[in-house]
Amino acid sequence: MLSRRISISSWNQIWRALLVLTLSSIGLSVIITITILEMTMTGEPGATISEHEVWVNAIAYSILIPGIVCPVIVYMLLVTLRELNLARAELDAVANGDPLTGLLNRRGFDAAGAGLIAQAGSRHQPVCALMCDIDSFKQVNDTHGHDCGDIAIRHVASIVKTVMEAVPNASVGRQGGDEFAVLVTGLSSRELAHYAEIIRQSVQSNPIAWNEDTIPLTVSLGTSMSAGGEDTTVRVLLSRADRALYEAKLRGKNRVEAAAQAETA
């Protein structure tokens, strides 16, 4: 069984190839049949066979050759397509994934987010964005080193991903450095604030271990929301959420701020 879905265009190519191979095999069978008839008519020693045997052999060859050749070749094509699909998936993961956290990188997140926004627009659903940033991350790097900083980034990324996995139609990505983004459809502002608060509390209550130290972490979060059917983009939503995140930093860090509050403050 193939481990990757084969596209419709790939199936069309397979059927075309199967048709060509079948016709080629039938053509080969006809050539063999004609050769047998020619051998029968020449009367060469050991070549003469009855007319009944000619037709039996002709039918056998006509069925046997396409029946063996075509499935073998098609199987080889399917294996090749499977390998190509796996290679394409690996290339997509490299192109769209963040190697440190396993989340989507900015490019992958923008593509996934654009799809969510289009889907939400057709359903007249709201689209929500969330920006998350580790508080005093530079101090973590300066005090404990960049290896510890990488662990902190992976730790927070894992929490954000775990929390948002419970939400349908959510995309999570790393925007760079210690900043993460979430785009999700179909949530109310209250539900969005609820998940943001879960992330904040989870990070605060789960410090990371580094050598013999336990290092506490906190995050600040900003949220934004568009009305159902509103014409918007990933960058517009994230820009609003980023302004709310900046307001959370100004108000003391380790908190959640909504864009409406930040922009009217």
pLDDT digit string, tens, across residues 164-186: 999 989 999 999 899 999 999 98
Measured distance CA(81)–CA(136) in Å, rounded = 48
What pLDDT, on the 0 to 100 scale, is given for residue 2?
Answer: 40
Kindly report, residue by residue over 116-148, the tens digit of the pLDDT.
999 888 888 889 999 999 999 999 999 999 999
pLDDT of residue 62: 66
Q: Are 152 and 208 in contact (CB under 8 A)?
A: yes
Is residue 112's pLDDT more than 50? yes
pLDDT in tens, 240-263: 999 999 999 999 999 999 986 444
**Which residues are within 8 A (CB) of 11 and not within 5 positions of it... i.e. 6 or more apart?**
none
160 Cβ partners below 8 Å, 6+ apart?
A: 132, 172, 180, 182, 199
- Rounded to 5 degrees, what angle do the CA atoms 139, 177, 168 make? 120
* CATH value of 106-264 in 3.40.50.300, 3.30.70.270, 3.90.420.10, 3.40.718.10: 3.30.70.270
Q: How is the chain split into domains, by residue range?
A: 8-96, 106-264
Instruction: Please tell me which residue in 178, 213, 231, 242 is annotated as part of the active site.
Output: 178
- Grouping H, G, I as helix, E, B as strand and the rest as coil, residue 244 is helix
Pairing between strand 219-226 and 256-258?
parallel
Number of other CB atoms surrounding residue 196 within 10 Å: 28
Mean residue pLDDT of the chain comes to: 81
Reading the block at residue 191, the tokens are: 């539900």
What tokens were used for 198? Answer: 């879960």
| pLDDT value for 72 | 74
Q: Is 231 a catalytic residue?
A: no
